[in-house]
Structure 1
Amino acid sequence: MAFIDYYKVLEVDKKATEAEIKKAYRKMARKYHPDLNPNDKQTEIKFKEANEANEVLSNSENRKKYDEYGENWQHADEFEKSKRQQQHYQGNSQQGDFGGFGDGVDYSDFFESMFGGARRGGGRRSTQYKGQDFNAELHLDLKDVYTTHKRTLTINGKNIRLTIPAGVENGQIIKIAGHGAEGSGGGPKGDLYITFSIENHTHFKRDKNNLYSTVDLDLYTALLGGELTVDTFDGKVKLKVASGIQNGTKVKLKGKGFPVYKKEGQFGDLYITYQILIPTNLTDREKELFTELAKLKKP
């Protein structure tokens, strides 16, 4: 989560040309591509860092901002704006227009919220900058987010204990305020953004709060009806099967889906699709009976 030096990531000098950066990126992309390093989390991280570095350094405007402002390059426009405002206020103050900054100076709302405001008085002010935000990816199994639970993460050597609400979705991002880098000039800390990567190793398919499952149904139960025990995410239930049910028939089990995020006690639905199995390896007697049945059905 610490500051990433994009030049070191691509293994190039800060004076590298655009062509040299492009060549270095291609080399790194080939080396760390996920297809060549399956199930290797470390190379996956390096691949993402190489892409990020290339996006910044291959763009002349972004590279200029990065070279000047480093980890805060994304806020370069705001820094420049604040500099122009300060120069403007100082110039007016020297001309006697304001008689010093005083309380009459109108700072922008963005400047106040982004950089923590400023100390005023005597025509001088000290700018406070918010610390860099951190980003982390948390890998969980679908079963992990079926119930609310606590988990401890280690970020830059510090343990952070979080409560993960049931129903979190794959790709969802949550913000933990104040757990980023230290601010400068007495400014506030940055924030921590956690992206959830949820893998599904169950036979259920999830679509937001609903679950979907395919259940095998033998031909005899499909024809004559009966009872069937099926799996839900948290147990088993018995279903009554009507006689003559068709292949592909769907039934809905209300409230047997996935928990609704941050709405305790609320669940989506479970949709079950019946897949009728045609018997194979019939005995001679079974074939004989089916033949008789076929004759009965003929007009």
Structure 2
Amino acid sequence: MAVIDYYKTLGIAKTASDKDIKKAYRKLARKFHPDLNPNDKEAEKKFKEINEANEVLSNPENRKKYDQYGAHWQNAEAYEQAKQQQQQQRAYQGQAGNSGSYSEQDFEDMFGSMFGGQASGRQRNTRFRGQDFNAELHLDLKDVYTDHKRTLTVNNKNIRITIPAGVENGQTIKIKGHGGKGVNDGPNGDLYIQFSIQNHSKFKRDKDNLYTTVDLDLYTAMLGGDLMVDTFNGKVKLTVKPETQNGTKVKLKGKGFPKYKKAEQFGDLYITYQIKTPTNLTDKEKDLFTQLQKLR
């Protein structure tokens, strides 16, 4: 069986760090993404190969198995179990001393006996769970403000999932049964998706709450009045109290970010007023400020 060189697919060395793997994957994923290469079959094929390589190498456990077993990495657990069975059988037969290292041909012989060769009935009927897959999904903060559906390509298969509103950056969710195929009718593995969420808005997010700064002119700050401010999903009108000080904070209840898997529940929006001092004063304005200064 030919070994798939995932390192070559991503253009990295076998000694590459996790950071190197992530950097290489992101660069190639952007270059060959189907949205940027419409109707390009070669780019689509390359994109799938890149994702497959990343699913293996970005997961430390899968990478370890791949480095050790090469093309057989997905059946590493099955191999270990089968090897233990053989060792037990050899020990029972007084041949335990033959449990040394194994060559690539030993791998082939072992897997051949496990999956279709001269296997015993017990080996043929042993069910093994499929491998778990890992993927990273890049989204913008606005993408996770509401529930939405997204189609992912994982291991050359399209998977339609619903992304719940309120997902956080770095959060991982499990899609049951969408990992590697089980062996001998064993259960499939699971798909783990980690979210990388970029924030290009003027709001700072802290879990369910949002924070922002709003400019307030000096006159409204002193005399009070109405002010239109932006929230994450529209504008609202605020009433500014007279003599509002710079740095004053106000809370808009329920105007923050949706709470994960809690329908119609939201955090709060915290606004900090930043008073803007007027510039380019006219002579009359200067005179009025001088009079006010004398009154104070």
User: Residue 106 of structure 1 aligns with which residue?
Assistant: none
Distance 1:42 1:258, change over 3 A: same
1:172-219 deviation per Cα after TM superposition (whole angstroms, max 9, x unaligned): 111111112222233222221212222222211111100011100000
CA distance in 2 between partners of 1:39 and 1:282 (Å): 54
CA-based RMSD = 4.1
User: Residue 124 of structure 1 aligns with which residue?
Assistant: 122
Q: Give the 3-state SS of the residue equivalent to 2:290 in structure 1.
A: helix
1:107-132 deviation per Cα after TM superposition (whole angstroms, max 9, x unaligned): xxxxxxxxxxxxxxx98344332223
Distance 1:124 1:87, change over 3 A: farther
Partner amino acid, structure 2, of 1:8? K
CA distance in 1 between partners of 2:203 and 2:29 (Å): 23
Alpha-carbon deviation of 1:79?
A: 4.9
CA distance in 1 between partners of 2:217 and 2:264 (Å): 35
Partner amino acid, structure 1, of 2:80? E
Contact 2:251 2:268 in 1 (8 A): yes
Alpha-carbon deviation of 1:133?
A: 2.2
User: Residue 166 of structure 2 aligns with which residue?
Assistant: 167
CA distance in 2 between partners of 1:89 and 1:34 (Å): 44
Alpha-carbon deviation of 1:141?
A: 2.0
Alpha-carbon deviation of 1:6?
A: 4.1
2:291 corresponds to 1:288: no
User: Residue 201 of structure 1 aligns with which residue?
Assistant: 200
Query: What TM-score, normalized by structure 1, do the two folds share?
Result: 0.68
Partner amino acid, structure 1, of 2:122? R
CA distance in 2 between partners of 1:52 and 1:193 (Å): 14
CA distance in 2 between partners of 1:34 and 1:133 (Å): 19
Alpha-carbon deviation of 1:5?
A: 2.7
CA distance in 1 between partners of 2:29 and 2:190 (Å): 29
Contact 1:128 1:183 in 2 (8 A): yes
User: Residue 117 of structure 1 aligns with which residue?
Assistant: none
User: Residue 108 of structure 1 aligns with which residue?
Assistant: none
Partner amino acid, structure 1, of 2:83? K
Distance 1:64 1:269, change over 3 A: closer
2:244 corresponds to 1:248: no
Equivalences for 1:1-299 in 2 at 5 Å? 5-6=5-6, 8-9=8-9, 22=15, 25=16, 40=30, 52=57, 65-67=68-70, 69-73=72-76, 75=77, 79-80=79-80, 83-84=83-84, 87-88=87-88, 124-125=122-123, 126-297=125-296
Distance 1:81 1:187, change over 3 A: closer
CA distance in 2 between partners of 1:256 and 1:237 (Å): 10
CA distance in 1 between partners of 2:207 and 2:170 (Å): 12
Alpha-carbon deviation of 1:62?
A: 6.8
1:212-246 deviation per Cα after TM superposition (whole angstroms, max 9, x unaligned): 11100000011111111111112222211111111
Distance 1:10 1:262, change over 3 A: closer
1:61-96 deviation per Cα after TM superposition (whole angstroms, max 9, x unaligned): 8787345953455x4xx853663356437866x79x
Distance 1:7 1:261, change over 3 A: closer
Query: What TM-score, normalized by structure 2, do the two folds share?
Result: 0.68
Partner amino acid, structure 1, of 2:252? L
Q: What residue ranges of structure 2 are gaps of 5+ in the alignment?
A: 34-49, 95-119
Distance 1:38 1:232, change over 3 A: farther
Alpha-carbon deviation of 1:4?
A: 5.8
246-255 vs 78-87, greater mean Cα deviation = 78-87
Identity between Structure 1 and Structure 2 (%): 61
Q: Give the 3-state SS of the residue equivalent to 1:124 in structure 2.
A: helix
CA distance in 1 between partners of 2:197 and 2:131 (Å): 26
Contact 2:257 2:267 in 1 (8 A): yes
CA distance in 2 between partners of 1:256 and 1:136 (Å): 32
83-92 vs 134-143, greater mean Cα deviation = 83-92
CA distance in 2 between partners of 1:245 and 1:188 (Å): 63
Partner amino acid, structure 1, of 2:208? N
Distance 1:124 1:138, change over 3 A: closer
Q: Give the 3-state SS of the residue equivalent to 1:196 in structure 2.
A: strand
Partner amino acid, structure 2, of 1:282? L
Contact 1:250 1:274 in 2 (8 A): yes
Q: What residue ranges of structure 1 are gaps of 5+ in the alignment?
A: 13-19, 96-121
